[in-house]
């Protein structure tokens, strides 16, 4: 009787462990299914991501505030330490800027006169909005930020993201109250640029490090450390002339660029809609009639 009971228990245990193994296998298979879904249907995954980030936004707003406060406190302390030197520097800068302003006024008048002569139609004015960064979702495999702005503020996919220092990246996806910003350092980022003084076109390719690579340069271009890199405006994703970064190394054909924007101190960013149409729109496939 006792041995029969023991046998039944053992059979039950074996069955349970078999079911457990099958369930685990199904789980692993479903993981690969998820990966395939992510690769095949980016729109569904994007929508899910936006929904999740939208839901998490109120928490992120609250959680990011102490970090911003600490960062501001530290930068205030640093500024206090160098306030005298900064003041002298600013005075000198102000004097030279006054001269630049006079020249700019003169050029603006001349530009208006010439535009009138040639009946030039200027491009539409860019719309911009400033917003706070509430999450930094960057790691060694992807580089992006989440900003506290969404559809309600008329932000849309492809808008250019800037700070006073230069180009940050572009809006990759937009939710109701959050927008995901793909940085120029992200592995998926490709920015058409040119070396300012050489006027040579190139592509700035992110690699998830702080220093993206410069690729597709003409073979005749002699790039040196310290050369300034700006957007070329090609492909119509970014407008021309935006400051991007500076060449920091050129070893064995690998050219590294340090972005002007300090990626580690991004608190406020400007999202600008330049009305560019270079980004491939998300449209369904056409069918033959």
**In Å, how far from its chain's centre is CA 133?**
11
- Contact between 194 and other proteins by CB under 8 A: the answer reads no
Residue carrying structure tokens 């330049």: 274
How many other CB atoms are found less than 10 A from the CB of residue 261? 24
Which residue, 29 or 225, has its beta carbon nearer to other proteins? Answer: 29
The answer to whether the CB of 172 falls within 8 A of the CB of 180 is yes
Which residue, 74 or 248, has its beta carbon nearer to other proteins? Answer: 74
What's the CA gap between 70 and 146, in Å, rounded?
19
Out of 191, 203, 243, 266, name the contact with other proteins by CB under 8 A. 266
**In Å, how far from its chain's centre is CA 16?**
49
Out of 17, 76, 111, 209, name the contact with other proteins by CB under 8 A. 209
Distances in whole angstroms, Cα of residue 251 to Cα of each of 148, 208, 229, 244: 40, 19, 17, 20
- Contact between 261 and other proteins by CB under 8 A: the answer reads no
- Contact between 251 and other proteins by CB under 8 A: the answer reads no
Out of 210, 221, 250, 258, name the contact with other proteins by CB under 8 A. 210
What is the footprint of other proteins within residues 40-69 (CB under 8 A)? 45, 48-49, 52-53, 56, 59-60, 63-64, 67-68
Out of 1, 2, 27, 85, name the contact with other proteins by CB under 8 A. 27
The answer to whether the CB of 137 falls within 8 A of the CB of 152 is no
Out of 3, 140, 219, 220, name the contact with other proteins by CB under 8 A. 140
Count Cβ atoms within 10 A of the Cβ of residue 54 and give its class: 0-12 exposed, 13-18 middle, 19 or more buried: middle
Residues in a beta bridge with 256:
213, 249
Which residue, 56 or 221, has its beta carbon nearer to other proteins? Answer: 56
Which residue, 134 or 247, has its beta carbon nearer to other proteins? Answer: 134
What's the CA gap between 147 and 57, in Å, rounded?
9
Q: Which helix (H) or strand (E) holds 171?
A: strand 167-174
CB of 156 to other proteins, least distance (A): 18
**Footprint on this chain of other proteins (rule: CB under 8 A):** 24, 27-28, 31-32, 34-39, 45, 48-49, 52-53, 56, 59-60, 63-64, 67-68, 70-71, 74, 133-144, 172, 180, 182, 185-187, 207-210, 263-267
């Amino acid at each position: 009787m006792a041995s029969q009971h023991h046998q039944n228990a053992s059979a039950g245990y074996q069955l349970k462990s078999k079911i457990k193994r099958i369930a685990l296998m199904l789980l692993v298979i479903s993981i690969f299914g998820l990966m395939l879904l992510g690769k095949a249907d980016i729109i569904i995954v994007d929508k899910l991501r936006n929904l999740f980030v939208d839901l998490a936004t109120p928490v992120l707003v609250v959680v990011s505030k102490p970090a911003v406060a600490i960062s501001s406190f530290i930068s205030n302390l640093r500024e206090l330490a160098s306030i005298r030197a900064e003041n002298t520097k600013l005075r000198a800068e102000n004097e030279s800027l006054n001269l630049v302003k006079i020249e700019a006024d003169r050029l603006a008048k001349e530009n208006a006169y010439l535009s009138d002569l040639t009946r030039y139609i200027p491009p539409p004015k860019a719309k911009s909005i400033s917003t706070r960064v509430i999450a930094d979702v960057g790691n060694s495999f992807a580089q992006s930020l989440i900003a506290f702005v969404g559809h309600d503020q008329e932000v849309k996919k492809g808008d250019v993201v800037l700070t006073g220092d230069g180009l940050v990246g572009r809006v990759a996806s937009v939710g109701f109250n959050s927008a995901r910003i793909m940085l120029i350092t992200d592995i998926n980022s490709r920015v058409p640029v040119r070396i300012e003084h050489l006027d040579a076109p190139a592509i700035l390719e992110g690699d998830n490090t702080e220093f993206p690579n410069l690729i597709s340069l003409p073979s005749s271009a002699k790039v040196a450390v310290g050369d300034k890199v700006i957007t070329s405006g090609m492909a119509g994703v970014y407008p021309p002339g935006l400051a991007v970064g500076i060449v920091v190394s050129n070893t064995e054909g690998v050219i590294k660029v340090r972005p002007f924007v300090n990626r580690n101190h991004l608190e406020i960013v400007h999202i600008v809609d330049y009305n560019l149409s270079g980004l491939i729109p998300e449209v369904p496939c056409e069918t033959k009639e």
